[in-house]
Amino acid sequence: MASPGSKLSGWEKADILLKGLLPLAVAGVGYWATSYLAERQRTEATSQFYTELLTKREEADSSLRKEMFKYIIDKFLGSTQDNMENQVLGLELLAYNFHDSFDLAPLFKAAYKKTLEKTPPRKDLQARLVTVSREIADRQIASLAEADHRWGAGIDSFERMRKGDSRSEIVFSKDLPPPADAAKGAAYKPMNIQLEALAVDSKRDAVQVRLQVRGLDPVQTFVDATFWVSYFDFPMLDNTRLPNRQRLAVVLSQFDTDSAQLTIVYFPETRASLKEKPYFDELIEDMRRRNVQ
């Protein structure tokens, strides 16, 4: 120890400084370790929450599907299957109450076909089926996408798509805007969509289209699909998966004697129905990305 009045050497000063900083360093390390453990516990708790939530949702969804499947078997494939009025009424009840959890398109299409095969065709039941399907489609469109993420595409004339004429018509082309609520930190992939009308079926009010979704940077094809669109294809369940965890649906809004109107709906997959659940790996990756930030 230095004598009174003498100056402290450099080593003595360093020793005093280190002794003073040591408690602070220990406290800092302790705080860091505590924060790290707390963050890890939060991550594990979040993972457990996701797992429990998905499990419960799956159980509830499976239970609902089981009951609906039993109802459908009894109602539409049982002894009363020839009673068209009851079938249409059952479809109306199902559509208005369970349109977001059960794919009713096959039932609507089968019932509509039966009304066409009746002698004479049951135009009153056809109108009821079309009315309920358009109402449900409009509800789903409104809940899925904002106004600036849905667009109209018109087919002014069916002349070029009549039987025997193979020429098609591009009815819509657009660069997709960045998703409004994409996952934070996710790399955005710029894309262009093109919708081409290929054929028309005036008997069942349907249009065959080709949907192409291409990446712009780099140039690549994400989607190239051909399918029919009718009044009975609902966007919440009948849609196409895109990059950026987005979805795209094509909806028939109006079908007339020589023209049709389509609606293109662009929305995040989180708004899709319970049937269209995101993949587990996507949920985990999203969770990890949020925790890193």
Full DSSP string of the chain: -PPTTPPPPHHHHHHHHHHHHHHHHHHHHHHHHHHHHHHHHHHHHHHHHHHHHHHHHHHHHHHHHHHHHHHHHHHHSSTTTT-HHHHHHHHHHHHHHHTTTS--HHHHHHHHHHHHHSSS--HHHHHHHHHHHHHHHHHHHHHHS-GGGEEEEEE--SGGGSTT----EEEEEEEPPPPTTPPTTPPP--EEEEEEEEEEETTTTEEEEEEEEEEETTEEEEEEEEEEEETT--TTTS-EEEGGGEEEEEEEEEE-SS-EEEEEEEEEGGGS-TTSPPPHHHHHHHHHHHHH-
Specify the higher pLDDT residue, 203 or 52. Answer: 203
Per-residue pLDDT reduced to its tens digit, 225-235 = 999 999 999 99
The pLDDT value given to residue 14: 61
The pLDDT value given to residue 17: 61
Per-residue pLDDT reduced to its tens digit, 12-64 = 666 666 666 667 666 666 767 777 777 777 777 777 777 777 777 777 777 77
The pLDDT value given to residue 127: 93
The pLDDT value given to residue 42: 74
Specify the higher pLDDT residue, 12 or 199. Answer: 199
Per-residue pLDDT reduced to its tens digit, 68-96 = 667 766 766 565 556 888 888 888 888 88
Per-residue pLDDT reduced to its tens digit, 264-288 = 999 988 877 655 555 444 555 555 5
